[in-house]
Each structure stands twice: as C-alpha cells, then as structure tokens.
Amino acid sequence: MGAREGGHELNFLARAPAATAASAVPAAPLSPTVTDIRSLKEAKAPQTANEMAAIAAYYLSEVAPSGDRKSEIDASDLKNLFKQAVFPMPGSPRMTLVNAKNAGYLDPGSARGAYRLNPVGYNLVVHKLPSSDSQSSTTTPRRTRKPKRSTKKRGRKKTTKNS
C-alpha cells in the first residue's frame, strides 16, 4: 500500500512506468547478416574448442531458424555444427561440452550429456568475442629485465701477520 503524506496517499507503484510488450523483447545483439553457423564463427573468430562450443550453443538457442532452435546442445549437435562451421573437430565432442561446462560457459541440461548456454557463455559470445588477441599476435611482449649486479662474494680482506 502507499504511505500517507499531508492527507494524500502516495502510491509508489503507480509512478513506476508500466512494462510494455515492446520493451520486454530484447534487441537482437547480432546483425541480420549472421544467419548460419559458418558466418557466426567467422564473425566471432573463436580460438578454442570451448569458445566454439559456446558459439554453437548460442547459435542453436538464438540464431538458428525457428524450426531448428533448441535450448540444449548435445555431442551430436556439436559434431554437426563444427562440421558446418568448418572448425577443427575435437577428439571427443562429448568431452568438449564437459570442458566448456567446466570453463563456465554451459550449464548441465535436463538429460545426461545435454547442456545449455548460461549467462557467462552468452556474454562471451555476444560481448567478448572476437577478442583483441585474435586480431593481433597471440603472444604478449615480455618485459626486459635490468642486468643483475655481479654476485661476487665479498668477504673480509685477509690480512697477513707481520710479526
């Protein structure tokens, strides 16, 4: 309920703007030119199989044609999407999904071996990829060290007895 002030009831909820159906729909984060997994892979330039697994899960849940959309991804989906994207096939697609889950990009799904994209994986695909490392060299230059002082042991001077 509202609070009373000076004989008038203040209704704080009435002042909040009402949510409309148009404001509830999120804007599409990618350009409309990305319609297949290969163009999405080229736009995002993943460096690892874990990143590609997150892109594949994002593609299935957000970008794929409405008839092909799925909220969860499994090893067979990953295998097919890696082939379509022309990305090197991992040794074990099932373990790639496990590794992507352990990296924090996917959450366990409703069935064994099924995974779904979580907010961390979504943010990786939408906001972090392509990383600046993929556009430049992957190694960072090392700092040069100052030369060390000589490490000669300095002991007491030996004196000779003059007796």
| pLDDT, tens digit, 9 for 90 and up, residues 23-62 | 444 444 555 566 889 999 999 999 999 999 999 999 999 9
Would 21 be classed as within a structural domain?
Answer: no
Would 152 be classed as within a structural domain?
Answer: no
Would 51 be classed as within a structural domain?
Answer: yes
Would 91 be classed as within a structural domain?
Answer: yes
pLDDT of residue 20 exceeding 50: no
Q: Are 116 and 71 in contact (CB under 8 A)?
A: yes
> Quick one: pLDDT band at residue 115, thresholds 50, 70, 90?
very high
pLDDT of residue 162 exceeding 80: no
Mean pLDDT of the chain: 79
Average pLDDT over residues 86-109: 95
Long-range contacts of 72-80 (CB under 8 A, 24+ apart): 72/109, 72/110, 72/111, 72/114, 72/115, 72/116, 73/97, 73/106, 73/109, 73/114, 73/115, 73/116, 73/117, 74/109, 74/111, 74/113, 74/114, 74/115, 75/113, 78/53
Would 125 be classed as within a structural domain?
Answer: yes
Would 72 be classed as within a structural domain?
Answer: yes
pLDDT of residue 96 exceeding 60: yes
Q: Which residue has the tokens 């100052």?
A: 146
Q: Which domain holds residue 87?
A: 31-131
136: left (phi over 0), alpha (psi -120 to 50) or beta: beta
Q: Strand 115-117 to strand 3-5: parallel, antiparallel, or no bridges (unpaired)? A: unpaired
Would 57 be classed as within a structural domain?
Answer: yes
Average pLDDT over residues 105-130: 95
pLDDT of residue 98 exceeding 80: yes
pLDDT of residue 163: 57
Retrieve residue 124's tokens: 């990786």
Would 159 be classed as within a structural domain?
Answer: no
How many domains does one find in the chain? 1
pLDDT of residue 35: 80
Whether the pTM exceeds 0.75: the reply is no
Which CATH number characterizes residue 47's domain?
Answer: 1.10.10
Alpha helix segments (H runs only) across 12-162: 12-15, 21-24, 37-44, 49-58, 75-85, 93-102, 119-123, 132-135
Residues 58, 64: Cα–Cα separation, whole Å: 9
